[in-house]
Amino acid sequence: MINVKVPATSANLGPGFDTLGLALSLYNRFSFIETSEGLEINGCKNYHANENNLVYTSMLKTFDIIGYRPRGIRIEADTDIPISRGLGSSATCILGGVIGANKLANSPLSKDEILEIATGIEGHPDNIAPALFGGLVASVVDNNKIYYNKINIANGIKFVALIPDFTLSTSSAREVLPKNISYEDGVYNVGRVALLLSAFSNGRFDLLKTSLEDRLHQPYRGKLIFGFDDIIDKCYNLGCLGAYISGAGPTLMAIVYKVDGDFKVKIKEYLNSNNYNWDVKELYLDFNGAIEY
């Protein structure tokens, strides 16, 4: 049996639209066994347990590239990452399938090749790269080549995910974005990405609030999240260092000091008292990325 664990991811980080992502301590786990024939998928909803399952279709794509064809496959899924919440659930399924297929075929692929295949399926590397490599990763695609680099984050912070009880598809979240932006807004975001990376790397966490500001996607996607402005304001009133929309949303991510034991309790109390049926999870950076175990 082959076992693969893939971390959740939080992409964009405010101004780093489609380029930044980090891995967090929330996981989907997949097990793979080659069988004599057919397809068996356990651990997911019935409507996902078929040949259209993203883990399985990612395996097939990888098998085609490698030139390997199994007789049959059994997939066991143990998933803790909520679907369509902006926490990279689809990236975990894709990577789980690609890594599982590679292992069944005696591991002919390098990590960079796995990145390339998985990104080709996902469409962009901002969730795939941190899920594969762990930590904070910047990535871009140029002429179909993926360029990426891990970025140091100084010790001392943790992340609090505010996860709504409703979903938001990436396609819907992209439809609300403007087709063009002003030169001023472009400069605004470029400056904040630079400030954000230096703040993370040097431990200048006092700069996170300003550096997480954005004009490319959050003002538009925030309108799709009921209570967005009020909840973000409350996060700052409770002392968080920074807050942003995780991925395409609707999850909101707050950054606090590791020693802060009150924020999670107080923001949960606020959400409950205002009838927001949201889950609150305290998470830490995952520095390992996807692993076989």
Say whether 92 counts as a known binding-site residue. yes
Pairing of strands 72-79, 38-42: parallel
> Per the annotation, does 130 bind a ligand?
no
* 82 annotated ligand binder: yes
CA atoms within 13 A on the CB side of 152: 7
90 appears as a binding residue in the annotation: yes
Instruction: Check the annotation: does 83 bind a ligand.
Output: yes
| Residue 84 marked in a binding site | yes
> In whole angstroms, how far apart are CA 14 and each of 34, 110, 225, 232, 260?
42, 31, 15, 13, 22
* 85 is known to lie in a ligand binding site: yes
Nearest to 88 by CA among 175, 25, 41: 25
Residue 181 one-letter amino acid: I
Known binder of ligand: residue 139?
Answer: no
CB-based contact 96:16 (threshold 8 Å): no
> According to the annotation, is 91 in a ligand binding site?
yes
Q: Smallest Cα–Cα separation from 114: which of 57, 61, 178?
A: 61
Distance CA 135, CA 289 (A): 7
Annotated binding site: 82-92
Annotated binding site for ATP: 82-92
